[in-house]
């Protein structure tokens, strides 16, 4: 979904990937950012918190009529319908991020 948003163009691809992974781990209750993830990604959990919040907020956007290709593609079963994932409550996300 960040492919359609100009605001995310300034983020490095590795940081975007790390932020998306952290958000997915939190959303699926699979734990948080481990020392191994920190070592191999080069990002501390605290460095990713602002990006994770922005990514979660991005999930609340309604799709634009002219920019449906990516959302449609990732709404398919083959891609586990990730474009249809509901965002986390921001207060709950804040609380979880503070603890990791």
What is the per-residue DSSP string for 1-12? Answer: -GGG-GGGTTS-
Q: Is the Cβ–Cβ distance between 38 and 45 less than 8 Å?
A: yes
Q: Does domain 2-99 have CATH number 1.20.140.10?
A: no
Residue 8 has pLDDT above 70, yes or no: yes
Distance CA 27, CA 47 (A): 18
Count of beta carbons in the 10 Å neighbourhood of residue 39: 9
User: How much helix, strand and coil, in percent to the nearest 5, is found in the chain?
Assistant: 65, 0, 35
pLDDT at 62: 66
Look at residue 64 in the predicted model and tell me its pLDDT. Answer: 66
């Amino acid at each position: 979904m960040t492919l359609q948003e100009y605001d995310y163009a300034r983020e490095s691809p590795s940081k975007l990937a790390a932020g998306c992974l952290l958000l997915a781990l939190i959303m699926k209750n699979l734990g948080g950012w481990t020392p191994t993830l920190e070592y191999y990604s080069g990002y501390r959990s605290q460095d990713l918190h602002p990006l994770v919040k922005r990514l979660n907020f991005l999930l609340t956007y309604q799709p634009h009529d002219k920019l449906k290709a990516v959302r449609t593609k990732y709404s398919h079963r083959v891609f586990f319908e990730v474009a249809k994932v509901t965002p986390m409550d921001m207060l709950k996300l804040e609380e979880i991020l503070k603890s990791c």
